[in-house]
Structure 1
Amino acid sequence: MSVLSATDVRRNWSQFNDDIVREGPQFVKRNRDEWVAMSTEQLKAAFSNFTFHAHLVQEDDGTITATLDQFDLVENGSSEKEVLEALTYELIEYSQEYMENFKLYFHSPNRKAHFPYILNVVAQDHPENVRQLITCQAGVK
């Protein structure tokens, strides 16, 4: 694996960006820090298997409750479409919160495993694409 120096990257910034998009991810080392740069398309491909599974339950009052496996996200709505839309926006909001508080969330034992899922959400360019990451198991009659 080829690792570029940060000095070389800085010196050839435009070429570095072109190489990422056209050739693939690039690994960089600066002192003791190492990092990777990739395009959004590559990020989506790398994390495409990190999807979500929702359980739907019809409540006694006729509403539907959706819970997301491995996440503390629960939504309720009058229809499957409504509850999945609410769950999608809640997932987007949680992902934004995770990224805004990255140091805290990433280093929290109960939230660290969320990271690849969060990256898959933030890489999406439209809420409908996030909605497509959620599959359902209906307990709805």
Structure 2
Amino acid sequence: TFALRQTELIALVGLVTGIAASLSMAASEYLSSKEGDISKTNPLKAATYTGIAYVITVFLLVMPYLLLENVYVALGITLITAVVIIFGFTFYISVAKDVPFWKRFLEMAVISLGVAALSFIIGLVIRNVLGIEI
């Protein structure tokens, strides 16, 4: 957001990067499932679910940039969406695996938002070092 400053460009980069990451995660899940007990997990099914979940997440996170012109409002909505997604995923895991919700939620939220903040800083540094203005 801070490096590109144009909602359409941010959406394009987010979609391309996000879909590529989704494919990578699906491939990783396939390989990981093949290494496990094959009688319990179908690698293709696991990879498909993982890929679809990631693509849906990417679209939810990029959607504000497709609908809004103000990059900062879009960023705010994207961050709120990310926290809601983390909340939902953590709730599911806490119920399915009977683990404490709040500790896991806070850990996931802090790590995810920390990575996002670091990515924004890296984007700003690269833009300034290379002198790229878009």
Using the size of structure 1 for normalisation, the TM-score is: 0.32
By percentage of residues, which structure has more strand? Answer: 1
Q: Which of structures 1 and 2 has the bigger CA Rg?
A: 1
Higher helix residue share = 2
Task: Give the number of the structure with larger relative contact order, counting CA–CA contacts within 8 Å between residues 6 or more apart.
Answer: 2
